[in-house]
């Protein structure tokens, strides 16, 4: 490994890395550490980088899930933690992450590739005293390896503390641990957001910022009107150069599609170049007696044949153009015929619904007409029985004869009214 010390580190045990522990490192820890180091570099801040990592420990399974930077102090020439601040901040993180319960599992800092140094020992001893916890791990970030790593390796190393007897005293040493990166859905969203926004982030040097501030002060003294116009132009350029989230998402989508098409083209060219190396008679003539070469990959040829058989299902066949110059210039493809069939089914369903509605309305009209006709016939039968005799009743009232008046006493003894 580049940058590794020639002589072995006396603080690191010579045994192989411990694989008995199942350590899972989450990307949020890496993002926090990289953000912390990047901000210090851009601000030209000096001093050590120290932080804490909280997670879970269930038996031999340990997770490193969240990290935060620590406030430092100097005592007797050694850099140590601000004990009161550290305990208060750690308790706040414990209150926030109660389900599942998280606790301090490791500390992170910068270090060489060779492993921990003597300056790291006072820090770990102080953490042991403040938390009354043994076995706090140490994560070292190797800044000199950032520009030299390949193959997806991370510039970090993880160590756990062990005590070994040297003579009559117990010495604290370190043993390297193996780890794996574990991520969840929420972390994937956060990492994706950081990856998309990282392309738009720019670092402005401090000297350039000071010069810009001084030039703006000089311009303000020349005239408010000109300065205001220049500020408006600058703001307009900044607004026009910035992309909205929708535009960034569209660009990312188009870029992904372009990469997919490019890869598909490369795969097709690779298949074509392989088929061109095969004998023509073996590929085109099914009754050819020419034996295939010994290097023929029959599994690959079967896969190519299966792929070609599925192509008509994915894309419509080519459209045939008649050569007689007739008005029918195109022949409907299978996709167009399927679309026409679907449209016909929709129109037929709509027509059946209209026909059913018309039949229902006609049936309702026939029932109403039957009721009206029956009422009309009943009225006609009533008028013929009572109104045809004339007399006093003309309006359907029954006629009364002279005998009924005589019986009721309307005529006197003399026969008059």
Q: Does residue 308 carry a pLDDT above 80?
A: yes
Read off the pLDDT of residues 28-57 as tens digits, 9 standing for 90 and up.
898 899 889 988 888 888 888 999 999 998
Token pair 């590739």: residue: 113
pLDDT at 365: 93
Looking at 245-249, 259-263, 267-271, which range is the least confident one? 245-249
pLDDT at 181: 87
Task: Kindly report whether the peptide bond that precedes residue 351 is cis, defined as omega within 30 degrees of 0.
Answer: no
* H or E segment and range at residue 152: none
Output phi, psi for 352, to 5 deg: -65, -40
Virtual CA dihedral for 109, 112, 115, 120, nearest 10 degrees?
-40
Looking at 124-133, 183-192, 206-215, 323-332, which range is the least confident one? 206-215
Read off the pLDDT of residues 60-80 as tens digits, 9 standing for 90 and up.
899 999 999 998 888 777 778
Q: Does residue 384 carry a pLDDT above 60?
A: no
Q: Does residue 186 carry a pLDDT above 90?
A: no
Q: Locate 368 and state its tokens.
A: 């109403």
Would you tell me how many other CB atoms lie within 10 Å of the CB of residue 374? Answer: 10
Q: Does residue 323 carry a pLDDT above 60?
A: no
pLDDT at 76: 75
**399 CB burial (10 A radius; 0-12, 13-18, 19+):** middle
pLDDT at 92: 93
Read off the pLDDT of residues 82-101 as tens digits, 9 standing for 90 and up.
989 999 999 999 999 988 89
pLDDT band at 295 (very low <50, low <70, confident <90, very high): confident
Q: Does residue 26 carry a pLDDT above 60?
A: yes
DSSP 393: G
Greater pLDDT, 124 or 231: 124
Q: Locate 81 and state its tokens.
A: 């933690």
Q: Does residue 327 carry a pLDDT above 90?
A: no
> What residues contact residue 49 under an 8 Å CB cut-off, 6+ apart?
36, 37, 40, 69, 108, 109, 110, 141
Range 333-337 average pLDDT:
76
Rg (CA), the chain: 47
Looking at 211-220, 296-305, 371-380, 390-399, which range is the least confident one? 390-399
pLDDT at 315: 63
Distance CA(253)–CA(293), nearest Å, equals 44
pLDDT at 405: 47
- For 128-146, the DSSP string reads HHHHT-S--EEEEE-GGGT
Measure Cα distances from 226 to 199, 213, 217, 218 in Å. 34, 17, 13, 12
pLDDT band at 2 (very low <50, low <70, confident <90, very high): very low
Helices within 287-407 (DSSP H only): 298-314, 334-386, 402-407
Looking at 51-65, 234-248, 360-374, which range is the least confident one? 234-248
Looking at 5-14, 55-64, 322-331, which range is the least confident one? 322-331
Q: Does residue 6 carry a pLDDT above 50?
A: no
Range 150-159 average pLDDT:
80
Handedness of CA 229, 230, 235, 241 (dihedral sign): positive
Distance CA(175)–CA(138), nearest Å, equals 10
Q: Does residue 274 carry a pLDDT above 60?
A: yes
Q: Is the pTM of this model over 0.75?
A: no
- For residue 404, the number of C-alpha atoms closer than 13 Å in the C-beta half-sphere is 4
Read off the pLDDT of residues 96-121 as tens digits, 9 standing for 90 and up.
998 889 999 999 999 888 888 888 88
Crossing angle between the packed helical segments 27-42 and 185-198, to the nearest 10 degrees: 30
């Amino acid at each position: 490994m580049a940058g590794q010390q020639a002589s072995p580190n006396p603080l690191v045990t010579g045994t192989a890395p411990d694989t008995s522990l199942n350590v899972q490192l989450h990307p949020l820890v890496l993002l926090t550490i990289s953000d912390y180091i990047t901000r210090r570099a851009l601000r030209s801040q000096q001093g050590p980088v120290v932080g804490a990592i909280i997670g879970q420990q269930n038996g031999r399974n340990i997770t490193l899930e969240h990290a935060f930077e620590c406030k430092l102090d100097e005592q007797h020439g050694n850099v140590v933690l601000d004990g009161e601040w550290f305990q208060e901040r750690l308790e706040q993180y414990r209150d926030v992450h109660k389900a599942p319960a998280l606790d301090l599992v490791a500390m992170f800092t910068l270090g060489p590739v060779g492993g921990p140094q003597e300056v790291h020992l006072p820090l770990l001893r102080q953490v042991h005293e403040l938390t009354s916890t043994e076995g706090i791990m140490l994560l070292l970030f190797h800044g000199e390896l950032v520009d030299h790593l390949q193959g997806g390796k991370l510039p970090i190393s993880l160590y756990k503390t062990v005590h070994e007897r040297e003579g009559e005293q117990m010495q604290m040493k370190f043993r390297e641990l193996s780890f794996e990166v574990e991520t969840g859905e929420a972390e994937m969203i956060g990492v994706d957001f950081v990856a998309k926004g990282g392309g738009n982030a720019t670092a402005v040097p401090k000297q350039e910022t000071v010069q810009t501030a001084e030039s703006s002060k000089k311009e303000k003294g020349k005239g408010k009107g000109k300065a205001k116009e220049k500020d408006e132009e600058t703001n307009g350029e900044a607004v026009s150069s910035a992309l909205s989230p929708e535009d960034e998402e569209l660009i990312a989508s188009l870029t992904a599609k372009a990469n997919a098409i490019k890869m598909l083209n490369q795969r097709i060219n690779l298949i074509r170049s392989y088929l061109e190396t095969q004998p023509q008679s073996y590929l085109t003539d099914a009754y050819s007696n020419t034996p295939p070469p010994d290097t023929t990959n029959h599994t690959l040829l079967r896969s190519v044949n299966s792929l070609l058989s599925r192509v008509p299902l994915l894309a419509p066949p080519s459209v045939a153009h008649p050569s007689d110059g007739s008005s029918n210039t195109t022949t409907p493809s299978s996709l167009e015929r399927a679309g026409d069939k679907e449209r016909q089914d929709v129109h037929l369903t709509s027509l059946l619904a209209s026909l059913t509605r018309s039949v229902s309305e006609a049936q309702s009209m026939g029932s109403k007409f039957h009721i009206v006709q029956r009422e009309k016939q009943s009225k006609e039968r009533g008028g013929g029985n009572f109104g045809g005799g004339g007399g006093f009743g003309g309006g359907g009232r029954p006629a009364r004869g002279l005998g009924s008046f005589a019986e009721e006493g309307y005529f006197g003894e003399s026969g008059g009214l």
